[in-house]
């Protein structure tokens, strides 16, 4: 608590010259991130980073939890189809399981467009699984646009890895 109070006083001192008098803790600049454990924020991470035991089992038992897309595309190609077939078989064997499909994009798209494109990709995967008999009511989708890449480079290989839809077993 003493440490927090120090920060508040410092915040006040800093902003006094900036012309504001009503300051709260939220206005104090945050320190650098020190928590790299994966659960750092309440919902600052995509589901890929907050895996349940059931999801770990799912990942072991399907050919992959991730399908990939071409640049600015959202069609399910033969490779993705095989992966989703494997996921569908697992899900049919585990009835009632709820999943979230995350849609992601590479950085070569503007932010807002990529949110829509990620949504398209997640929905393309959802529609495929639904056509294979998984109840649509058990499938949630979420688009992260270009906010949560898995590969950090700015090159063809990284971009190809980041254009993806990831299936995550929630419960």
Residues that bind other proteins (CB under 8 A): 15, 17-21, 24, 26-30, 32-33, 36, 40-45, 47, 49, 72, 74, 107-113, 115-117, 119-120, 122-124, 127, 142-144, 147-150, 152-155
Q: Least distance in Å: CB of 67 to other proteins?
A: 15
Q: Least distance in Å: CB of 93 to other proteins?
A: 27
Q: Which is nearer to other proteins, 124 or 134 (CB)?
A: 124
The answer to whether the beta carbons of residues 105 and 145 sit under 8 Å apart is yes
Q: Which is nearer to other proteins, 12 or 89 (CB)?
A: 12
Q: Which is nearer to other proteins, 90 or 145 (CB)?
A: 145
Question: Cα separation of 84 and 99, whole Å?
Answer: 13
Phi, psi of 55 (to 5 degrees): -65, -35
Q: Least distance in Å: CB of 129 to other proteins?
A: 14
Q: Least distance in Å: CB of 12 to other proteins?
A: 12
Q: Which is nearer to other proteins, 26 or 93 (CB)?
A: 26
Question: Cα separation of 120 and 103, whole Å?
Answer: 7
Q: Least distance in Å: CB of 113 to other proteins?
A: 6
Question: Cα separation of 71 and 59, whole Å?
Answer: 25
DSSP 100: E
Sign of CA dihedral 125, 127, 131, 133: positive
Strands 139-145 and 164-169, sheet pairing: unpaired
Q: Which is nearer to other proteins, 32 or 78 (CB)?
A: 32
Residues 6+ apart with CB under 8 A from 10: 28
């Amino acid at each position: 608590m003493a440490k927090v109070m120090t920060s508040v006083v410092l915040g006040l001192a800093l902003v006094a010259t900036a012309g504001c008098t009503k300051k709260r803790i939220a206005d104090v600049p945050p320190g650098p991130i020190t928590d790299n454990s994966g659960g750092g924020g309440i919902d600052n991470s995509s589901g890929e980073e907050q895996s349940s035991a059931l999801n770990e089992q799912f990942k072991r038992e399907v050919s992959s939890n991730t399908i990939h897309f071409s640049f600015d595309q959202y069609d399910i190609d033969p490779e993705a189809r095989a992966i989703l077939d494997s996921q569908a078989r697992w899900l049919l064997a585990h009835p009632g399981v709820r999943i979230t499909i995350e849609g992601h994009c590479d950085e070569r798209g503007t932010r807002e467009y990529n949110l829509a494109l990620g949504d398209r990709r997640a929905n393309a995967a959802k529609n495929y699984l639904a056509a294979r008999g998984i109840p649509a009511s058990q499938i949630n989708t979420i688009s992260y646009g270009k906010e949560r890449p898995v590969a950090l480079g700015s090159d063809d290989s990284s971009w190809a890895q980041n254009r993806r839809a990831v299936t995550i077993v929630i419960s």
